[in-house]
Amino acid sequence: MGGIGGIADFDRMMNGFNWYKYASPATFYTLAGRLIPWFYGAAAVLCAAGLYIAFFLAPTDFQQSEAYRIIFIHVPAAWMSMFIYIVMAAWAAIGLAFNTRLSFMMASALAPTGAMLTFVSLWTGALWGKPTWGAWWVWDARLTSELILFFLYLGFMALQAAIDDPRRADRAGALIALVGVVNVPIIYFSVKWWNTLHQGASISMTKAPSMAAIMLEGMLVMALAAWMYAIAAALSRVRSIILERERNSQWVAQMMEAEA
């Protein structure tokens, strides 16, 4: 246990582990297939726990009564909408830099889930805005930049769908993803940079959270659930994309024969 032997083992493991192996679509296809049920399972458990906190442990808000309970999906969805875009842009950048097929496929696999969660954040925002601000929608910086994020996701998907040659579609999509990534800090800091109707950050690095601990916990558990779900969905989608794009390769044919 541990000691010098442990370090030597660790060293051997790090050197012996073939990092490039998992960059191959064939290996990744199998690995993703094994991981997906675990991520779906974790998402379901965390979602159940999060909803329990959201509806049965979190108290009624003294200002907003029960309307504030929208926060438990609104904030996690909004966080994920931005985070997924950054991950998508990172995969696109890796794809452009190293010309790795799988990186581009990961970028494509993330876009629909990101778009869906962006829509959720806009939708729940509208349903929260109406009773608290008196308006479904206002053109303030936070809402407008989040709407632009939604269009960036849709633009990425439409562009990729419009180009037949997958390699050209990858590159064109990567360009949108990378140019659009400047929008993410704009969304995040919009409530600081401009005088927005939207409230400031619920959680920040520099000061204590502006909400009750149990509300914060519910939000974090729901955010983790959204995270697990997004990983499961993206892995599931990338497996289909791998099959579509590698359908003429040897390993796909062999796998189909093995299953038949």
- Provide the binding-site residues for other proteins, judged by CB under 8 A: 55-60, 65-67, 69-70, 73-74, 77, 101, 112-113, 116, 119-120, 123-124, 127-128, 130-131, 164-167, 229, 233, 236-237, 239-241, 243-250, 252-253, 256-257
- DSSP H or E stretch at residue 79: helix 71-98
65 pairs with which residues across the strands?
A: 61
Q: Nearest distance from residue 112's CB to other proteins, in Å? A: 7
Handedness of CA 75, 77, 78, 79 (dihedral sign): positive
Rounded (10°) CA dihedral 86, 142, 80, 241 = -60
Cβ closest to other proteins, residue 94 vs residue 229: 229
Spell out a b/e string for 251-260, using b for 16 or more CB atoms within 10 Å of the CB, else e.
Answer: ebeebeeeee
Q: Nearest distance from residue 116's CB to other proteins, in Å? A: 5
Q: Nearest distance from residue 66's CB to other proteins, in Å? A: 4
Cβ closest to other proteins, residue 16 vs residue 20: 20
- Read off the tokens for 210: 């502006």
Q: Nearest distance from residue 24's CB to other proteins, in Å? A: 10
Q: Nearest distance from residue 193's CB to other proteins, in Å? A: 27
- Read off the tokens for 111: 């876009």
Cβ closest to other proteins, residue 146 vs residue 246: 246
Cβ closest to other proteins, residue 11 vs residue 244: 244
Whole-number Å distance between alpha carbons of 142 and 120: 15
Cβ closest to other proteins, residue 8 vs residue 57: 57
Q: Nearest distance from residue 118's CB to other proteins, in Å? A: 11
CA distances from 99 to 10, 50, 84, 92, 177 (A): 30, 40, 21, 10, 16
Cβ closest to other proteins, residue 70 vs residue 174: 70
The answer to whether 219 and 161 are in contact (CB under 8 A) is: no
- Read off the tokens for 228: 């697990």
